[in-house]
Structure 1
């Protein structure tokens, strides 16, 4: 598939290992219930865009009508399992009714209005999809977060976004309460649980009692829709805001599609709900094509669960981080048969060609790689990176003799471990809070399983130079896990006398990174 670099709505490009070929079917949106106006836009990508658009009313509700008319296959729109016998199936019509109930909860009980912000910290449970769609119906800006966030992480996100409401599980409720006093603008706390907790509203109970009648707000293409916190090379994570156009209208408007799905297909995106890939791969794009979104709760990601699920359920497309495929190819795949699987997609970081070849040999299936950048909605920075019709990503790539562009790696200090984006500043700041650390630098280091991991170079304080280094390493790792999200801790630690620096005193992370990666 030819690579496109575009800066109109969402800049992204994809690469495929192996011979060129179209992952989509000649750019056609197969069976999608879009108006003639949108079909014209789809066929003539540069024509004028509509002023108003709302994904809930213009996509999901249209599929609901197609369903009522009997023009869509009988497979569900949403299919959730927990691996212990629990199962939820919704048609588009049922999704519509339940999300309207959730929308009324946000409006009537939480007092949220168009433009307000709601932080959603939920695992892979059906309520995440209900709340996200409810935000679209009310015009509330959704802010997803991974369930691994600590109290400090939650406090930062609350203060940076000034969110008026937060919804999470009973497991994270205590962490929210511990920082709520520092966030006076936080007016409402919703908990997804059958239990009760002082100061919290029970989302599930309120949804049962809420009316299913709700009028979707009118939103413009450029109105904010969802905000992600993404790790930066300096400072704390940055808020990246996406509009109705960049997230909701993008899969309809683009003349090329990275998913070759139809209303008969079932899409399984395995990534954590806190990341943009989950929003794209398990909500916006498959539902734009009328496909079934399949979800496994996956409290623990393991090969046996993944392979059994692919064997037992009619999943036609799976999307996961490279770590998932690196893990799966280590299993004995001869005892599993994937009767329905057609497409395998990877995103979040580059996947080793060796893993692609092993997967192809063992399953007969190619792995398609998805590439995109969350950072294209800051107007000033985006404008500074545009060159005519091209967007300068800041990443490294190469162009082959056929004109195809191949992604090589990031050209900044961001670390991408098993699909988790980690900024060096966050790790270094956590380490510097420990009395043993005088200076610290965090860079990526190659890892055969995760692709890359965080490695910390540490200059010790004078009082700690004679301590047991192995014991101190474990202590520092546990310290970082407690101070920030656990996935950010340095899996490798090296104690050094000094760190390389520029003449102005800035740490030269590029030298340390080159030491780890060599000339790769």
Structure 2
């Protein structure tokens, strides 16, 4: 395992050995850009880093670590020429374009803070994020929807100094691709960067207010050695595929840091906005990934497409996270492919915290057992540890001894970091689970009603805020409704204003209204009208 440079021990005899003796070691100035990317380029110049293909699964392009290293150094110099410095925050809305890797690594070299963002955001989402994070620059993909949403947000984002566009020229935008091509000078890294500097920010959904800004340190990539090496079981010299947009933490979990640290290249499939199971199957057969991690919904849809054993002949290990899978689906998938889907659990605030690791048999429907470095317990409402088979909140304890690599430093707010734990030195996930007599953890749900739809985390507050601005809506409540394909879908229960009556036309109007005023994936697929809501 390439990550052995950062591990006291790499081979473990049992899960108990793994839990007790897994420790990381690294220098105070650890920087993923130089210590991993540049190191590969120096030692193995032709080592494969990325295989990229477009939304059709064609027009493949491969990148070695030498190419990634040199290109990201030029991008870093170009960004600095635009005034981007250590501590500046830069938002990337780049879908799954290969340029994301080059720009992200360049930001890590500078010490600027990376803010990945979904291509489905609306103008209001973008302006909120730009203000809350005090964003200095936004770089977007050559996609008309994204461009139009950013342009609508521009006047509401005075703090943003630069708007840049890749692969396309447009008035009022920096031609980032041209600027990078014309840059010959290189910037290696800011020598003042240390492991506890701010590295990246993810916006997370919440029910009691707008999204929070989860801020990670430069140790975040190291946390994903467990994710990639011991849960996804990536292969040194292999190829890993995770289906995720670069705007989501799932992308960092499965398409970047841990995989490279553990010696695996990544398959960057620039999938279309709408999921196409046939194309996904063709991509898997054509590029032959050795390991794979996709949301449960994709497994369901691939099976509906007529999945066959030969489709997965190259795959040695399968994982999933973000939504629960039924034991029946896991059994049917194993019957077809011979592979077991290994479930795992974590958040945008962390790396994998609970998973089905290699030393014990995966139990269908279970998240598995706690990862090392995390002192995980289930607590009741009074902070007491729950006995087996009693539901409680997943809590990380003992943070007074230091933050596990991969866990957030805190939440960025009003220009500073607020700790994600209190005087008790505990991090509360907000997720409810129970533990059986054998130590397996079973997910129950959110204690703050976050809706998980096809691995998207959707906060009811954001949808309620939009619907309450529609003239027909007097009151509304947003909840999750069970769905056989997506796990959950958004349900809106609405009390109408006088003069409005329930109708199919009004349902379509409200759904379209939500799509236009927030990210389209958040729209309520189920709309119910009632006379009153419980108070």
TM-score, with structure 2 as normaliser: 0.81
Is the partner of 2:189 in helix, strand or coil? Answer: coil
Question: Which residue in 2 is equivalent to 1:334?
Answer: 308
Structure 2 residue aligned with 1:369, among 328, 332, 343? 343
Verify: 1:169 aligned to 2:141, yes or no.
yes
Q: Deviations over 1:121-180 (max 9, x none)?
A: 011111111111111111111111111111111111111111110000342223222222
Question: Which residue in 1 is equivalent to 2:365?
Answer: none
Alignment CA distance shift 1:425-1:255 (3 Å):
closer
In structure 1, C-alpha distance between the alignment counterparts of 2:301 and 2:419, rounded to whole Å: 37
Q: Deviations over 1:78-123 (max 9, x none)?
A: 1001126312111111110111111112111x21000100010011
Structure 1 residue aligned with 2:508, among 453, 474, 480? 474
Question: Which residue in 2 is equivalent to 1:32?
Answer: 3
- Mapped contact 2:94–2:139 kept (Cα < 8 A): yes
Is the partner of 1:337 in helix, strand or coil? Answer: helix
Verify: 1:492 aligned to 2:526, yes or no.
yes
Structure 1 window deviating more from structure 2 (208-217 vs 450-459): it is 208-217
Question: Which residue in 2 is equivalent to 1:288?
Answer: 261
RMSD: 2.2
- Mapped contact 1:454–1:489 kept (Cα < 8 A): yes
- Mapped contact 2:291–2:315 kept (Cα < 8 A): yes
What does 1:215-254 align with in structure 2 at a 5 Å threshold? 215-218=188-191, 219-245=193-219, 247-252=220-225
Verify: 1:134 aligned to 2:170, yes or no.
no
Q: Deviations over 1:252-306 (max 9, x none)?
A: 5899732322322100111111100101210011011121111111113211111
- Mapped contact 1:41–1:253 kept (Cα < 8 A): no
- Mapped contact 2:502–2:529 kept (Cα < 8 A): no
Using the TM superposition, give the Cα deviation of residue 348 of structure 1 relative to its aligned residue in structure 2, in angstroms: 1.4
Is the partner of 1:257 in helix, strand or coil? Answer: helix
TM-score, with structure 1 as normaliser: 0.83
In structure 1, C-alpha distance between the alignment counterparts of 2:481 and 2:258, rounded to whole Å: 33
Question: Which residue in 1 is equivalent to 2:491?
Answer: 455
Using the TM superposition, give the Cα deviation of residue 49 of structure 1 relative to its aligned residue in structure 2, in angstroms: 5.9
In structure 2, C-alpha distance between the alignment counterparts of 1:140 and 1:450, rounded to whole Å: 36
In structure 2, C-alpha distance between the alignment counterparts of 1:88 and 1:149, rounded to whole Å: 28
- Mapped contact 1:242–1:377 kept (Cα < 8 A): yes
- Mapped contact 2:229–2:258 kept (Cα < 8 A): no
Using the TM superposition, give the Cα deviation of residue 222 of structure 1 relative to its aligned residue in structure 2, in angstroms: 1.2
- Mapped contact 1:31–1:262 kept (Cα < 8 A): no
Alignment CA distance shift 1:415-1:456 (3 Å):
same
Aligned residues: 457
Is the partner of 2:344 in helix, strand or coil? Answer: strand
Alignment CA distance shift 1:491-1:354 (3 Å):
same
Is the partner of 1:280 in helix, strand or coil? Answer: helix
Is the partner of 1:406 in helix, strand or coil? Answer: strand
Alignment CA distance shift 1:49-1:169 (3 Å):
closer
Structure 1 residue aligned with 2:326, among 343, 352, 372? 352
In structure 2, C-alpha distance between the alignment counterparts of 1:267 and 1:238, rounded to whole Å: 30
In structure 2, C-alpha distance between the alignment counterparts of 1:404 and 1:57, rounded to whole Å: 38
Using the TM superposition, give the Cα deviation of residue 212 of structure 1 relative to its aligned residue in structure 2, in angstroms: 5.2
Is the partner of 1:478 in helix, strand or coil? Answer: helix
Verify: 1:384 aligned to 2:422, yes or no.
yes
What does 1:407-426 align with in structure 2 at a 5 Å threshold? 407-426=443-462
Question: Which residue in 2 is equivalent to 1:185?
Answer: 159
Alignment CA distance shift 1:42-1:185 (3 Å):
farther
Question: Which residue in 1 is equivalent to 2:356?
Answer: none
- Mapped contact 1:385–1:391 kept (Cα < 8 A): no
Unaligned runs of 5+ in 1: 1-29, 69-73, 502-520
Verify: 1:262 aligned to 2:235, yes or no.
yes
Unaligned runs of 5+ in 2: 12-20, 350-407, 412-417
- Mapped contact 1:438–1:459 kept (Cα < 8 A): yes
- Mapped contact 1:445–1:454 kept (Cα < 8 A): yes
In structure 2, C-alpha distance between the alignment counterparts of 1:176 and 1:235, rounded to whole Å: 23
Is the partner of 1:473 in helix, strand or coil? Answer: helix
- Mapped contact 1:308–1:336 kept (Cα < 8 A): no
Alignment CA distance shift 1:303-1:492 (3 Å):
same
If asked which structure has higher relative contact order (CA below 8 Å, sep 6+), I would say 1
Q: Deviations over 1:387-431 (max 9, x none)?
A: 6xx754332222222222222322221111111111111111111
Using the TM superposition, give the Cα deviation of residue 320 of structure 1 relative to its aligned residue in structure 2, in angstroms: 1.2
- Mapped contact 1:269–1:318 kept (Cα < 8 A): yes
Verify: 1:121 aligned to 2:93, yes or no.
yes
In structure 2, C-alpha distance between the alignment counterparts of 1:494 and 1:112, rounded to whole Å: 48
Alignment CA distance shift 1:369-1:47 (3 Å):
closer
In structure 1, C-alpha distance between the alignment counterparts of 2:226 and 2:26, rounded to whole Å: 9
